[in-house]
Chain A
Amino acid sequence: MKQTAIAIILFWVFSLIYKILSGYDSSIMQVEEILATPNFTYWFGKDDFGRDIYFRLVDGFINSFLIIFCVTFISSISGIFIGVLSGYIGGKLDQTIKFITTLFMSFPGILLAIAFAAILSPGKLNLIIALSIGGWVGYARLARAQTLLVKEQDFVKASQSMGSTKSRTIFHHILPALSTPMIVEATYAVAGLIIAEASLSFLGLGLQAPEASLGGMMRDSVRYLLAFHIMQ
């Protein structure tokens, strides 16, 4: 398990360095080499437009990584902000936020992202928005639950009794206590996001050609898989 993980990381690190050093543009098309099989010059062969699949993959990985990084950043910050406020202040605000989160949770999986990707025109920025809209809920729920727990603990009460302000309590006591569960939540969320991003691109709602995306490459290749059957 550990060896596989290290091998995968090494592969991507090597690919990224190779890609940067060679400066190869993955959208260069060479018509005479359409659908070339893998060989020593083109490691993974060429696609239906004569583009190098290996470099397309690396580009797709970079795109996917950037999108997921942005989505995680936006949704974790907003989720934690909303969750901590809801847990710390409580009352009517808490009730409202709790209802909104249950509402967002009632859309299964990537359906909400599909809905928003459908109305926004496809593209990188809109993909980030569509994924972030559903992404903050998980962080908010966990942050709220954790805040409720930490709020009642003795060290928070002690600091409050010594006269620390609300913002000091939140920034110096509650947020540090939240960091561990949030990192755990983020690792799970990132795994889901990779699939979600690829799924949206697979459905044609994510990145558009000529930009490389892993899901989009999958969709194009599946077409050939089925066409191969028809040609026989």
Chain B
Amino acid sequence: MSDGLAATMESPIIVESNLKQESGGVSLWEDAFRRLLKNKMAVAGGIFILLEIILAIITPWIVPYGFEEQNLENWVLAPSAEHWMGTDALGRDLFTRVLYGGRISLLVGFLASFVSVIVGVVYGAVSGFLGGRVDNIMMRIVDVLYALPFVFLVIILMVFFGRNIFLLFIALGLTQWLTMARIVRGQVISLKEKEFVQAAHSVGVRRWHIIKRHLIPNSLGPVIVFMTLTVPSVILEEAFLSFLGLGVQAPMASWGTLISNGVEVMEIRPTVLLFPAMALAATLFSLNFLGDGLRDALDPKGAKD
């Protein structure tokens, strides 16, 4: 008991002595945030994402049409004053559908990525840090989960739980956390041999504490980069899940389904593909600038000043 207490008291000192750039009194996070604000691209990316989220929230009140409102005669019209992005194959307003699609895709993208990051980071860090037999068992479980036929998994989950929106996040998170766990584990295995971790170890800092205070923060860089990659792949994977009946049901659409519908009429009316793809691309650009900025900000050694 007293040992543990001593450890918790000592650990910040070790952190500070290691991360030399840490200026006295200001916490790691505040410092990082300050640095983030200096990165113009990152700030722009952040603002754009924020705007998108606000737009997604207020969508139902600002759209000119209903997302399901059809006019079958208006087959894939070109953009016009009436329909800013043109219409789709059922004569529905594409602008409206892209906005509504954003609600779904942003929600799915961020939530599912969040789930996969949390699970993957904790699992990978624990596995990599404990090493040895535990690592071996934990990683073999990951191998087994990789091998499970995903299509069946989804179909069976649906048999038991129905078309639950939470099931969507679970199914998407399930596929993504595995690679995340492996990346974090690789990072941790390499980190734990480093001097400051060894030092913390030798003075008897508790394992969980080392994971929490040293290993996870120091492997955040690749985690953030991979997370910015996870968001789009989750958004696109959602389109595949809707093939199996999970995910959003027609006539509601997501960016993923809008893009795959756009591919079909690519040659007839490229704008049907272009607009949802641009929406996704813009999100990704902002996300990447924000992610890179965050990564740089969180890495104290990378600071230029």
Are A and B interaction partners? no
A→B interface (CB under 8 Å): none
B→A interface (CB under 8 Å): none
